[in-house]
Amino acid sequence: FTLTQYLIEQRRRFPDASGDFNALILDVALACKAIASAVAMGELGSTAPADVAVNVQGEVQKPMDVISNTTFIRVNEWGGHCAGMASEEMEGPYQIPAQHPRGKYLLVFDPLDGSSNIDVNITVGTIFSILRSPNPGSEAKVEDFLQPGTQQVCAGFALYGPSTIMVLTTGNGVDGFTLDRDIGEFVLTHPHMTIPAETQEFAINASNARFWEPPVKRYVDECLAGATGPRDKDFNMRWIASMVAEAHRILMRGGVFMYPKDTKDPSKPGRLRLMYEANPISMLI
């Protein structure tokens, strides 16, 4: 089953669907394939350095952050499915250029999650979320994007690891597709992904321990106490610094990922962004 076949099959359950949603997902998948191939080139791929800056979160962009952002926009702006887009790497909503039709969906994304890992060849990914525009066909305003996570129509990610995997939900289960590079298609390899109930693993950046709130500290202390503590069991700790990779591991193998509020920098109590990171991963989980 390719992603295209899967989408056609799913659409048969909604005879009145226009096909816009499927077309949008295929564009998102194409963008992810393009980013996968750029990421896989590593140092060989960087010709002209991208015009990097400091993004609205105050983080210094990597060239691949900018390249991935541009790729995602270029591939998704022309099809007529989006009323607008918003990205971790852009300050305000991205308006669909006048020469393209505007559609009914809002596309929200983190073009390259875990990009601090890019220079050391460790897994990164793209996270996306699709919302309905309250004003289909018209220019997307900031307020249009400020919807609760429960309103998401679809959420997913692509993971650029040893293999490229795309994981997707429309609210009816979670399915995973592996990119077959020879035929250029995502193939359904992980139908109905379910998180195992039992786990040995937890993931948190323990260097922030002294800035955590007491309940978080107590919970992690209990995990660290292992078989000699109240949880009666030894755990392993993991930290990839790519939430998208941790989320995928948890979908496959169970566990918990935490980036709790901390007091390290009082102006930034949370590390992860609600719209681009927490909401889509929450919908998948």
List residues binding ligand AHG (CB under 6 A).
59, 88, 110, 113-116, 205, 241-243, 259, 271
7 vs 73 by CB, closer to Mn ion: 73
Report the C-alpha gap between 166 and 188 in whole angstroms.
9
From the centroid of its chain, how far is CA 46?
A: 24
Contact partner, 3, from ligand AHG, Mn ion, none, Cβ < 5-8 Å per class: none
- State in angstroms the smallest separation of the CB of 56 from Mn ion: 12
88 vs 175 by CB, closer to ligand AHG: 88
- State in angstroms the smallest separation of the CB of 208 from ligand AHG: 7
- State in angstroms the smallest separation of the CB of 64 from Mn ion: 10
What's the number of CA atoms in the CB half-sphere (13 Å) around residue 181?
8
Q: What is the DSSP letter of 72?
A: H
Q: What is the DSSP letter of 133?
A: -
242 vs 279 by CB, closer to ligand AHG: 242
Q: For the window 75-104, what string marks contact with Mn ion as x by the rule CB under 5 A?
A: -------------x----------------
Which residue sits closest to ligand AHG, CB atoms considered? 243
Inter-CA distances, 40 with 29, 34, 37, 70, Å: 16, 10, 5, 17
- State in angstroms the smallest separation of the CB of 85 from ligand AHG: 16
From the centroid of its chain, how far is CA 133?
A: 20
Q: Give, for 113, the enclosing helix (H) or strand (E).
A: strand 105-113
Q: Give, for 85, the enclosing helix (H) or strand (E).
A: strand 82-87
Q: Is 68 within 8 Å of 41 (Cβ atoms)?
A: no
- State in angstroms the smallest separation of the CB of 165 from ligand AHG: 16
Q: Which of 27, 77, 113, 246 binds Mn ion (CB under 5 A)?
A: 113
6 vs 202 by CB, closer to ligand AHG: 202
Say whether residue 246 binds Mn ion (CB under 5 A): no
Q: For the window 199-228, what string marks contact with Mn ion as x by the rule CB under 5 A?
A: ------------------------------
Q: Is 79 within 8 Å of 23 (Cβ atoms)?
A: yes
114 vs 176 by CB, closer to ligand AHG: 114
From the centroid of its chain, how far is CA 243?
A: 8
- Tell how strand 154-160 and strand 124-132 pair up: antiparallel
Inter-CA distances, 4 with 10, 30, 78, 82, 142, Å: 10, 11, 19, 19, 32
Inter-CA distances, 147 with 13, 85, 144, 150, 242, Å: 26, 14, 7, 8, 25
Contact partner, 59, from Mn ion, ligand AHG, none, Cβ < 5-8 Å per class: ligand AHG
21 vs 94 by CB, closer to Mn ion: 94
- State in angstroms the smallest separation of the CB of 111 from ligand AHG: 8
68 vs 133 by CB, closer to ligand AHG: 68
> Site residues (CB under 5 A) for Mn ion?
88, 110, 112-113
